[in-house]
């Protein structure tokens, strides 16, 4: 009988070792899955913020151009900078260039010191 006890104990220990290994593997898989889900959520939030910022920039530029165009239609000799104090992007402005012969160019910039216009429009006045 004493010979059976060591075999029984070895089998029991072998089963315990297998259970520990299985639990460790399950914990590792769950941890990796949780990290992947968290990273995907962070990536999605960053993507949404980027899309929101791009939409705000487009809307601000379109609003500045529309405002500047209204100024030009009110005064056909108007030339200069147009600022919208209610714009979503503070510091955004539009530059109106009037050549005096009915050709007007409006360029919208999203921040002071910008060298590239976010949007532009040419108007020919009657």
- Verdict on whether the full-model pTM lies above 0.75: no
Cα angle 61, 62, 64 (rounded to 5 degrees) comes to 65
In tens, the pLDDT along 70-120 reads 999 999 899 999 999 988 899 999 999 998 888 999 999 999 999 999 999
- Confidence bin at 1 (pLDDT 50/70/90): very low
pLDDT in tens, 31-51: 999 999 999 999 999 999 999
Nearest alpha carbon to residue 79 among 64, 94, 66, 97: 97
In the chain the beta strands, taken as DSSP E runs, fall at: 80-83, 93-98, 103-109, 119-124
CB atoms within 10 A of CB 89: 19
């Amino acid at each position: 009988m004493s010979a059976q006890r060591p075999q029984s104990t070895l089998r029991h220990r072998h089963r315990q070792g297998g259970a520990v290994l299985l639990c460790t593997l399950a914990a590792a898989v769950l941890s990796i899955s949780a990290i992947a889900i968290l990273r995907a959520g962070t990536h999605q939030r960053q993507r949404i913020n980027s899309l929101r910022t791009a939409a705000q920039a487009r809307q601000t530029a379109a609003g500045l151009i529309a405002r500047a165009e209204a100024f030009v239609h009110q005064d056909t000799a108007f030339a200069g900078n147009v600022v919208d104090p209610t714009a979503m992007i503070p510091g955004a402005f539009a530059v109106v260039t009037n050549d005096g012969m009915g050709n007007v160019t409006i360029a919208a910039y999203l921040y002071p010191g910008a060298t590239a216009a976010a949007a532009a429009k040419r108007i020919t006045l009657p």
